[in-house]
Amino acid sequence: MKLYFSPLACSMATRIALYEAGIDAEYVEVDPRAKRTLKDDGDYLRVNPLGLVPVLEEGDGRLLKENMAVLQRVARLEGGKLLAARGETEQAELQQWLSFISTELHKGVFSLLFDRKAAPEVKAYALSKAESRLDYLASYVEGREFLLSEFSVADAYLVTVLNWFAATPVDLGRWPALKVYLANLRQRPAVARALDEERVLYGHYLRKYGELTPQMAQVLGVS
């Protein structure tokens, strides 16, 4: 099994899920700017014409695209059963949260905010959407360890996305429930390991483009 990923991108959620499930995989790094695989300088647009990560390649050569589909596939794998929802109600809730994170936070806020080609008005628009989404999420997460009754791929996705706020003007500290949720999850071994590994890789990526500022190096904990 191969996971095409870029450091600290939404594909990190699948890395967390695979670590949690104890499933071995080959991790193929994609330069999200050059749209090339690092190891062999391959053309990533041949893997995904949209140039997006993650893509999951299983033994049969099939390429599964789209983060929500990849996460749910891993959740259904033999070793991944613990990550999947149990029963109809939790399955529906899992899909509800994956959809919320994906559309309201990831796409609705961060895809705009992190797009180098987006105009300042687009970034301001994205920021204007963040507050109501975080209010809603915080009121749900208050007092909860996980989005469902146990750890699931929805938590893997949410911790990945909440982590991005550190690179924005939004102070997550205004939502104590989210800070607590995130701090707890960061202590899970699978989450901590994924974050540590991808932080280093992201540092290399920024350095390659001459964009590793001292502040960013400090945030990432790299030198």
Interface with a second copy (CB under 8 A): 49-50, 62, 64-69, 72-73, 76, 88-89, 91-93, 95-96, 98-100, 102-104, 106-108, 111-112, 118-119, 121-122, 124-125, 132-133, 136, 139
- Label residue 57 left, alpha or beta by phi (over 0 means left) and psi (-120 to 50 means alpha): beta
At closest approach, how far in Å is the CB of 166 from a second copy?
A: 23
At closest approach, how far in Å is the CB of 74 from a second copy?
A: 10
146 or 188, CB closer to a second copy?
146
89 or 213, CB closer to a second copy?
89
39 or 62, CB closer to a second copy?
62
110 or 205, CB closer to a second copy?
110
At closest approach, how far in Å is the CB of 85 from a second copy?
A: 11
At closest approach, how far in Å is the CB of 126 from a second copy?
A: 9
Question: Is-contact 65 11, C-beta < 8 A?
Answer: no
